[in-house]
Each structure stands twice: as structure tokens, then as C-alpha cells.
Amino acid sequence: MTPTGSLLTASALRKSYGPTHALDGAEFSIHPGEVVAVMGPSGSGKSTLLHCLAGIVTPDSGTITYAGRELTAMSDAERSALRRTEFGFVFQFGQLVPELTCLENVALPLRLAGTRRRQAEATALEWMDRLQVAEVQDKRPGEVSGGQGQRVAVARALVTAPRVVFADEPTGALDSLNGELVMQLLTEAARSANAAVVLVTHETRVAAYSDREIVVRDGRSRDMERIV
């Protein structure tokens, strides 16, 4: 049953790669403004679950519903449009464009959506200021620290005001101090914008920033109660 008020839900997801069952009946739900940590050992299926939820990978069976629409019934073009406008992404290594300045990287999703350069860069600079990296706006990704680069990546993920942010091991390449700062700023900014965050991690200290945890093991998911 779909939880009342859920923005994104998945039911009975199955996905296989040859003989390997990456997902075997996984379930998921998230509300607007909620941060849900998806945890599990390496190879458990947690990244496959994220990719299915984001419309990057199509499951073999099961249903995914986003804002009342069946994601798996959408065309490739419709899913691509969602990823440009309503979904934001933060990856482990940032994946910034090295030839662009940090400001241009953050503004890039807006420029691709047709926003004029001046307006796009003004909005991008506002998000860089919120993520405490406005001082590196004119530098290229190779000229900033890992922590700064990841905060630039978070600003890029949030600049289009997405309804869902998918964060795949966002602190995996950072030391503990920078990882804590990235998680604090990411979750604060997302909650203030009422954006949901799907957070894939294997670190309990990172999962502690979530409202709820889902553990994936052998392709199956289990919703964990948070003990306060």
C-alpha cells in the first residue's frame, strides 16, 4: 500500500543482471522534505535501487510512482526531462565538468533548461553562498579541495529546485570533517526547500542525518525504525 502523502514510492522491484538478482522485491517510499538513508553492504542492491528510483535503470518488474505518475510507463524523453528539472544528483566524486568554473558548473543545469546566463549564474551564486563555496566561483574543479568540490556539486544538484535529490555515497571520497559539513549543508538546504533526499551510504555517521533508514540486503529492503 502506498504511504499517504508519499512523493516517490516503489513496490516489488526486481532487477537482474544475468544470473545476479540485484533487486528481489524491494520496496521504498519517501515524503517531501524527508531524508531517507538506503544502507547495506557492497553488492546488496542499494545503488541499483537508487538508479531505478531515478529512472536511470528500468526494473524488470514492479512499480515506481513519482508524484502520482508511473515512472516506468514514461518515455525515455520524459524521464530525461525529470532528471533535468525535478531530480538532482550528488555522486561520490562530484563529477564536475573540469573545463568549466565552479560557478559555471552550478549554473549548467539551468543553462541546459534554457535560462539566460546572467539569471542562471545569479541563482547559482546564491546556492554557492548557501553551501559556503561562493569564494571559489571563478576557480575550476581541479583548483579546489575535495570538500569544496563536493559542496559545489551539492549546489549544482539543488540549483533547479528539484523535488528529489539522489545522493550516492556523497561523502565517500571525503575525510570525516568535510563529510560532516557536506551532510549538514545538504540536509539543511534540502529540508528548507522541502526536497526529499534519497541517500545511499554504508556509513552510520552519514545515515544519522536521515529521518529514516532502509536496509537493503540480497536485493530486499527493510524499513528500520529510528530509535531516538
Taking CB atoms within 8 Å and a gap of at least 24, the contacts of 11-19 are 11/62, 11/63, 12/61, 12/62, 12/63, 13/49, 13/52, 13/59, 13/61, 13/62, 13/64, 14/59, 14/60, 14/61, 14/62, 14/219, 15/45, 15/48, 15/52, 15/57, 15/59, 15/60, 15/219, 16/60
**What is the chain's pLDDT, residue by residue, as a tens digit (228 residues)?**
345 589 999 999 999 999 999 999 999 999 999 999 999 888 889 999 999 999 999 999 999 999 999 998 999 999 998 998 899 999 887 789 999 999 999 999 999 989 999 999 999 999 999 999 999 999 999 999 999 999 999 999 999 999 999 999 999 888 999 999 999 999 999 999 999 999 999 889 999 999 999 999 888 998 865 433
Packing angle of the helix pair 102-112, 117-130 (nearest 10 deg) = 130
Is the separation of the CB atoms in 131 and 63 below 8 Å?
no
pLDDT at 1: 37
- Rounded to 10°, the helix 146-158/102-112 angle is 20
Tell me if 39 sits within 8 A of 216, measured CB to CB. yes
Provide the β-strand partners of residue 23.
Answer: 15
Predicted pLDDT of residue 222: 87
- Homologous superfamily of domain range 1-86+163-222: P-loop containing nucleotide triphosphate hydrolases (3.40.50.300)
Tell me what pLDDT residue 173 has.
Answer: 86
Per-residue pLDDT, 225: 53
> pLDDT at position 227, please?
37
